[in-house]
């Protein structure tokens, strides 16, 4: 039988793989914003079913109003995450966007986890922070080089959106941790949070319809099998993450999960992108730094 620490590591690595996989799938979609919105609705329904089953088995969804409040806050940050991720993926390559967004979130979450939740700062964690910074610098350098002027502008724009995405990731991780400390059920917490994010982004996309383009309904009719699979992968990766967060600290879980940048680089090759050596080295440094921080 797996021990508690080994179970956390196993859950986080499985979540990391599924997360990198659905991000790679998103990178292949032409209308990333609406495809992601459809996938999030599928993930919300999936999480709601899991939460309902657990409730039927005796696991109450929420123990306090504070838990509900932190969950809604996580949903607002999730909405920001999905919007900024779609923007970043529309402009930049998977490896660069993924590395900057995930690695940048680590640098925000660790000090705030120490200040807010009393997690410990260790020498490996401090050393790991420096390694992550070096990895982010390398990834940014590799992601901004080469190409015509318009292409370079797109890449710089992608990195800007990836940084915004990192702030959103940090926000929802901290909000989820605060909610879980209020004894909420992990799957119910995620279902409500994702429902809030879906509602916010649904309103945002509805307001933007004046710009033309395919509606979400038309996209779903044309691409529904792929969107369902992506939604299940998205929901599964986050539900597993919630279980890991319920067992370990926010800083520890997030940093360990960011070994997923190596999965993302491998998947970038698989979908036809050719990461530069600086990008690969940067992703490896971010993963190594995250591992050090998780020790």
Task: Count Cβ atoms below 10 Å from residue 96 Cβ, excluding itself.
Answer: 31
Distance CA 74, CA 40 (A): 15
Domain positions in the chain: 15-207+223-294
Each residue's pLDDT, cut to its tens digit, for the chain (295 residues) gives 567 777 888 888 899 999 999 999 999 998 999 999 999 999 999 999 999 999 999 888 998 999 999 999 999 999 999 999 999 999 988 988 999 998 899 888 888 888 888 877 778 878 888 888 888 888 876 655 555 555 667 778 899 999 999 999 999 999 999 999 998 999 999 999 999 999 999 998 887 665 556 788 888 888 899 999 999 999 999 999 888 888 776 667 777 787 788 899 899 989 988 888 888 898 889 888 877 876 6
119 DSSP assignment: P
Per-residue tokens: 14: 């499985």
Per-residue pLDDT of 223-276, as tens digits, reads 899 999 999 999 999 999 888 888 776 667 777 787 788 899 899 989 988 888
Per-residue tokens: 97: 């966007």
Distance CA 39, CA 252 (A): 28
Global pTM value: 0.87
């Amino acid at each position: 039988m797996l021990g508690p620490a080994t179970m956390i590591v196993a859950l986080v690595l499985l979540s990391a793989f599924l997360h990198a996989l659905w991000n790679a799938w998103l990178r292949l979609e032409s209308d990333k914003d609406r495809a992601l919105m459809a996938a999030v609705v599928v993930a919300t329904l999936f999480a709601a079913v899991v939460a309902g089953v657990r409730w039927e088995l005796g696991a109450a969804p929420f123990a306090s109003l504070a838990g509900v409040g932190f969950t809604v806050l996580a949903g607002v940050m999730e909405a920001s995450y999905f919007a900024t991720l779609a923007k970043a993926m529309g402009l930049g390559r998977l490896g660069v966007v993924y590395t900057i967004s995930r690695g940048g979130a680590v640098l925000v979450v660790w000090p705030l986890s120490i200040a807010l939740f009393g997690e410990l700062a260790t020498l490996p964690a401090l050393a790991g922070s420096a390694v992550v910074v070096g990895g982010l610098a390398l990834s940014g350098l590799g992601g901004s080089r080469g190409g015509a002027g318009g292409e370079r502008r797109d890449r710089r724009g992608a990195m800007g959106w990836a940084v915004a995405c990192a702030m959103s990731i940090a926000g929802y991780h901290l909000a989820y941790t605060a909610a879980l400390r209020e004894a909420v059920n992990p799957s119910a917490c995620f279902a409500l949070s994702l429902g809030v994010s879906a509602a916010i982004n649904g309103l945002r996309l509805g307001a933007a319809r004046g710009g033309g383009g395919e509606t979400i309904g038309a996209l779903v009719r044309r691409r529904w099998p792929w969107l369902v699979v992506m939604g299940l992968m998205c929901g599964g990766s986050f539900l597993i993450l919630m279980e890991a967060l319920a067992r370990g600290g926010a800083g520890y879980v997030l940093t360990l999960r960011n070994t997923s940048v190596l999965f993302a680089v491998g998947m970038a090759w698989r979908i036809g992108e050719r990461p530069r050596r600086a990008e690969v080295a940067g992703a490896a440094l971010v993963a190594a730094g995250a591992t050090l921080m998780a020790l």
